[in-house]
């Protein structure tokens, strides 16, 4: 998957839509942010910080996904976040 160390791209909006996608995700982040509000009086987290909490991301989220599947029939399901630039 590593194409000469180029960074693949992932839109922040697409990442958040995927990260907080269902009732369980909403419940988890709701509790997490509520806890921060109660203990610190604010929620201070960036999309980049949420991204950095992950080890891998599904490849289908990448902007280059269509190109990858057209070029290579053996595309992995996930990609290390170190190979991705959040845009």
How is 27-79 classified by DSSP, letter by letter? HHHHHHHHHHHHHHSS----HHHHHHT-SEEEGGGSTTHHHHHHH-TT--SEE
In a domain, 21, yes or no: yes
In a domain, 3, yes or no: no
How many independent structural domains does the chain possess?
A: 1
For residue 17, give its domain range.
Answer: 8-86
pTM here is 0.80
Residue with tokens 């996904």: 65
pLDDT of residue 28: 96
Which range has the worst mean pLDDT, 1-5, 25-29, 64-68?
Answer: 1-5
pLDDT of residue 29: 96
Mean pLDDT to the nearest integer, 60-70: 87
In a domain, 2, yes or no: no
In a domain, 17, yes or no: yes
Residues 1-24: tens digit of each pLDDT: 544 567 899 999 999 999 999 999
């Amino acid at each position: 998957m590593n194409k000469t160390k180029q960074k693949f791209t992932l839109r922040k909006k697409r990442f958040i839509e995927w990260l907080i996608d269902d009732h369980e995700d909403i419940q988890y982040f709701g509790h997490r942010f509520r806890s921060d509000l109660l203990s610190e009086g604010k929620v201070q987290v960036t999309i980049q910080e949420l991204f950095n909490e992950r080890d891998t991301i599904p490849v289908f989220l990448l902007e280059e996904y269509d190109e990858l599947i057209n070029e290579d029939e053996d595309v992995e399901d996930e990609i290390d976040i170190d190979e991705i630039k959040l845009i």
